[in-house]
Amino acid sequence: MLEARPFALAEENPVEILFVDSRQLVRAGIERVLSDSGYLTVCGEAASCDEAIRQVRSSRPQVILIHLPGSRVDVLDGARKLHRQFPEVRVLVFTDASELVIQERLLQAGVAGCISSACTIEELFTAIETVLNGERYLSDSLARKLAERRLPGAETSPFDRLTHRELQILILVAEGCSTERIARELCLTRKTVNGYRKRLLEKFQVSTEVALMRLALCHGLVHIPQFG
């Protein structure tokens, strides 16, 4: 059985959480886990970051938990928007250990922390406490991998020199999205998207987008779906 946190036993003033996940069943499960703590309460649920932004304006949570597996562009953009519009709200994002580039960009965007998607309930509570205390939180496995990238002689990421927009389009290209779809999702013209696609080939000095996809796969920017 999980122990209640001493600092937050005041049931008359629970910590309010907004949970973002596209799957209704997962949202229901997390809500139950948080509510059973005795000091955390889910004040709202959202299926996307855009929906979360609308809810924050009225519910004003203290912490936003974002778990959107497979939606890396949505997470990057949504976390940035949430932090810029509501800097007083602490944003905590679930990520996979392989997504080092995504984690670094999220931290640069001002999120309060990244927590492993495979974390325990106890670690989730610890992460929430940590960000509520004004500190940043990183799961041990994530922190170790990020620290290793900063060691002398460590392999640098080929994506470090990309702008936010270039990274967005690279991810979408690697996911197999057409120019039309990318333009629609990012509110750009087809000409602008094609310009970015050409620029990415030049930056990475490759001749085909298949090479871009392979590079993105190797660095955890995209994943091959598992079936069966």
Task: Rounding to the nearest 10 degrees, give the CA dihedral for residues 14, 81, 162, 131.
Answer: -10
Q: Which fold has domain 6-148?
A: Rossmann fold (3.40.50)
Cα 112 to its chain centre, rounded Å, is: 11
Q: Which residue has the tokens 């509520």?
A: 132
pLDDT, one tens digit per residue, over 168-179 is 999 999 888 999
Instruction: Give the residue extent of every domain in the chain.
Output: 6-148, 164-218
Q: According to the model, what pLDDT value does residue 9 have? A: 45
Fold of 164-218: Arc Repressor Mutant, subunit A (1.10.10)
Is 1's pLDDT higher than 60?
no
CB–CB of 109/80 below 8 Å? Answer: yes
Residue 33 in contact with residue 42, Cβ under 8 Å? no
DSSP state of 48: S
Average pLDDT, the chain: 86
30: Cβ contacts below 8 Å, ≥ 6 apart: 19, 21, 42, 65, 67
Average pLDDT over residues 11-36: 87
Rounded (10°) angle between helices 190-204 and 164-174: 90
Distance between CA atoms of residues 173 and 212, nearest Å: 8
Residue-wise pLDDT tens digits, 59-111: 889 999 999 877 788 899 999 999 999 999 999 999 887 778 888 899 989 99
**pLDDT band at residue 186 under the 50/70/90 scheme:** very high
Under 8 Å between Cβ of 182 and 169: yes
In the chain, the DSSP E strands lie at: 15-20, 40-46, 63-66, 90-95, 113-116, 137-138
Whether the model pTM is above 0.75:
yes
pLDDT tens for 25-54 read 888 998 899 888 888 988 999 999 999 999
Give, in degrees to the nearest 5, the angle at Cα 211 between 208 and 214.
Answer: 150
Q: Report the share of the chain in percent with pLDDT over 90.
A: 53
| pLDDT of 146 strictly over 90 | no
Buried b (16+ CB within 10 A) or exposed e, 73-111: bbbbbbbbebbeebeebbbbbbbbeebbbbbbbbbebeb
